[in-house]
Amino acid sequence: MSINNEFNRFIRENLALSLKDISSRVKSREWLIDRVIQKIKEKIDSPQLYKENGQEYITFGSYFKGTKVSDVDEFDIMLIIDSNGGVFKQGGVQIGEGIGIIDPNPKYFDKYKKDNDPESVSPRKIMNWLKGIIDEVLEPYDCEPGEKDGQAVTAHIKSKDIYIDFVPGSIFRKVGSNEIFYTIPKGDADGGWIITNPRIDKEIVNETGSKYEQFKNSIRLFKYIFKESYNVKISSYAVESAHIDFERKYYFYDNYKYDFINILNHFITLVQNKKIPDMRDSSINLISNINYDACLQKLNRIKERFLDLDEESTTLATDVDAFLRNK
């Protein structure tokens, strides 16, 4: 027995995705997406979608990066909103020009502008529009009304017990180049927008993961123990970004005996420094709003328990299970 083998066994037995569930739930996802797109097309005085590379939406999140843990119970979808006629500014400087074909573009009608800034589109009003669309689609079916947070409207298909997060993403071309980016609601009280590009996130994780056998499973394992076992308040995306940051700086052995403790130590250092950098933009801090002391206490507890594992022990298998489940 070895720590590496026992960790791999735990992942196979507990974090494997059911192909049957995947097929059924993907069909349900596609069914709902199609109906949301059709409902948007029916609303002539409302924002419309832009078809980029033949598709009006982008799939993103853990499932599409191959870092999903256990059940395929949630999907992330960014709807691409036609942004023809618009500009995106940062610090008063235009950095993006809207892409699209709709003219005039309902997205820029007064009813979607900020009350205190008639030059800017309101994320809150765009979110309310999207929630209205999704609620109309869900009403005749065995689904709950959409739940809205600052960045997404979540649809719950009860018959399949899956959740789909719909994020409104406006599409822009960077001034002076052909680079495409998207803006999504920041989810803050000020009603701001943030720049993102989920395609690049997916490419970074997939390209890095392709170099190793166990890199993506390491991401999945840390997501599992943080969320399910030790209640470490580090987001799924931050776990991915911390792994990418580690791989860019240090050696990944493809052996959990070494990689787990090395990556865990990296998490500890990042939290001590109060910053996990975004994999796309290192100036963005993904843990700016956590309780650092509480997080460090839990990370150090995980470290203590890992270091207690003994490869010579006849109970290594049960010890690994107890450690990873926090029993």
One pLDDT digit (tens) per residue for the chain, 327 residues: 799 999 999 998 888 765 555 666 778 788 889 999 999 999 989 999 999 989 999 987 666 566 666 655 677 899 999 999 999 998 889 999 999 999 999 999 999 999 888 889 999 999 999 999 999 998 887 667 677 667 888 888 777 777 888 999 999 999 999 999 999 988 766 678 888 888 888 899 999 999 999 999 999 999 999 988 999 999 888 999 999 999 999 999 999 999 999 999 999 999 999 999 999 888 888 888 789 999 999 999 999 999 999 999 999 999 999 999 999
Angle (deg, nearest 10), helices 256-272 and 3-14? 80
Query: 10 Å Cβ neighbour count for 6?
Result: 22
List of residues 6+ apart from 98 with CB closer than 8 A: 83, 84, 85, 86, 87, 88, 105, 170, 171, 172
Cα–Cα separations (whole angstroms), residue 190 to 115, 153, 196, 248, 256? 12, 19, 18, 34, 43
Phi, psi torsion values for 185, nearest 5 degrees:
-55, 135
| Domains of the chain with CATH codes | 18-196 (3.30.460.90), 203-325 (1.10.1410)
Identify whether the C-beta of residue 165 lies closer than 8 Å to the C-beta of residue 156. no
CA 129, distance to chain mean position in Å, is 22
**Locate tokens 């870092």: which residue?**
67
The terminus-to-terminus CA distance of the chain in angstroms comes to: 21
Nearest 5°: phi and psi at 126? Answer: -65, -40
Distance CA 88, CA 106 (A): 17
How many secondary structure helices (H) and strands (E) does the chain include? 10, 11
Amino acid at 84: N
> Could you tell me how far CA 300 lies from the centroid of its own chain?
26
Residue that the structure tokens 């865990």 belong to? 264
Query: Token pair for residue 151?
Result: 């960045």
In contact, 69 and 220? CB cutoff 8 Å: yes
DSSP for residue 135: H
Pairing of strands 74-81, 57-60: antiparallel
Q: What is the pLDDT of residue 274?
A: 96
